[in-house]
Amino acid sequence: MAFLTSATPTPAVSSRNPDKSPKLSFATSQSMAKQKAYEKKAKNYRIPLESLAVFTAQLAALLAAGLPLVSSLEALQEQMDDPIFRVIIREVRLEISAGSSFSAAVKKFPKGFNSLFISMVEAGEASGNLAEILQKVAAYFEATVKLTKKVKSAMAYPIAVIGLAVVLVNVLLVFVIPVFSEMFSSFGSALPLPTQMLIDVSNFLKPDFSFPGILTKISILHIGIIVYIAWKIWQKFIATPRGREVKDQLIHRAPIFGPLSHKIALSRFCRTYATLMRSGVQILRTLEIVATASGKTQIEKACSDIAKHISQGGQISDVLATNPYFPPMMKHMVRAGEATGNVDGMMSKVADFFDTEVDATVAALTSLIEPLLICFLGVFVGGIVMAMFLPIFNLANVVGK
């Protein structure tokens, strides 16, 4: 009996072990499935510019400290929070460990690492000073991210205020105005035109599933479908070369944001050109990268003309002088840089000037947008309130009639 009682716990222990093994295998298989999904996404993953700037700065610092490239990538891989970016760093590290160059390894992820980063890595490998060139790339990326954040922060406030206003107006039209409409209908007299128009809009927006009302909802659905189709057609159109030209021309001629977009494009053009030329990239390759990084058809055409002109023995200022997209100040600065042999330095100064102009424009827009929005909301919401209270102001005349 003692033998039997001592032997009884053994099956319980052995029965618990099989219960744990499926859980462990399920967790492992789930982790492997996630890893395969990350690896599949890595080929077409577009690394955010802010993450790429941080990665480039950290890699430059590790290389400047004397760490080998593979060890630096391994350290960055371990601390990377983005799982897809971690997979990309691992693949790049394995390619380098297998004998490939850094530039050849990052070329396998063209959507993750842009052409500017790849060309700068090639220049760094050719000159043997990869850490210094990566520091320049990181500074360029950080300046671009800083500029983008400034513009986005300037646009966030008006978008949020306008969105809130739209929500509040819809609440008034759908829930508040019908109460006044029922009260006004008991007067038995014609309402003022602003009040009647506001009630008609409210009746149009409020839910109505009766036979005439459902026809109205169907018409709204048709309008929504037409707008959606028009938007899709516009997107396909701007994906074509002619469509991109039309879109860029419309943005360039916009009353307020056109000059801002123009200054940002010129700053990016000058900054990219100066960074690449200082890193030892050939001028024709520099112009090709600048055209791709600009995102503007005007600059792409200008870079193509500059490349043809330089191939024939000309200078950059000759093309800039005949292109109305570039301001006269920039043309004179580039010509002075060509005379002194310091075009990249002049381009960097022009980029600093346009960055200052962009900061001033964004600050002016931010300070101007706030009172304009207050006036707009005051007129819009105040007009709705006045339209609803007009019959009450004339209550004696309406009741008398």
* pLDDT above 70: percentage of residues in the chain: 85
Residues 23-72: tens digit of each pLDDT:
456 667 777 777 788 888 888 889 998 999 999 999 999 999 989 999 99
What radius of gyration do the chain's Cα atoms show?
32
Say whether domain 139-401 belongs to CATH 3.40.50.1390: no
% of the chain residues with pLDDT over 90: 12
The rounded mean pLDDT for the chain is 80
pLDDT on residue 200: 77
Q: Do domains 49-113 and 139-401 have the same CATH topology?
A: yes
Amino acid 7: pLDDT: 42
Kindly tell me if the per-residue pLDDT of 209 is higher than 60: no
φ, ψ (nearest 5 deg) of residue 213: -70, -40
| CB contact set of 47 (below 8 Å; sequence gap of 6+) | 55, 82, 85, 88, 112, 113
C-alpha–C-alpha distance, residues 263 and 350, integer Å: 11
Mean pLDDT of 375-383: 81
Nearest to 261 by CA among 219, 299, 289: 299
Residue 198: CB atoms within 10 A of its CB come to: 23
CATH 3.40.50.1980 fits 49-113, yes or no: no
pLDDT of residue 5: 42
Can you tell me the distance from the alpha carbon of 255 to that of 273, in angstroms, rounded to the nearest whole number?
28
Inform me whether the pLDDT recorded for 19 exceeds 80: no
For the chain, the distance separating the N- and C-terminal CA atoms, rounded to the nearest angstrom, is 108
Half-sphere exposure of 75 (CA within 13 A, CB side): 13
Query: How would residue 344 be classed by pLDDT, with cut points 50, 70 and 90?
Result: confident
How many helices (H) and strands (E) the chain has is answered by 19, 0
Cβ atoms 58, 76 nearer than 8 A:
yes
Band of pLDDT at residue 9, cut at 50, 70 and 90: very low
Q: How many CB atoms lie within 10 A of CB 78?
A: 10
Amino acid at site 78: E
pLDDT for 26: 64
CA–CA dist 273, 267 (Å, integer): 10
Cα 140 to Cα 125, 146, 235, 327, distances in angstroms: 19, 10, 30, 23
| Residue 42: closest CA among 13, 106, 77, 85 | 85
Interatomic CA distance for residues 311 and 262, integer angstroms: 28
Write down the domain spans for the chain: 49-113, 139-401
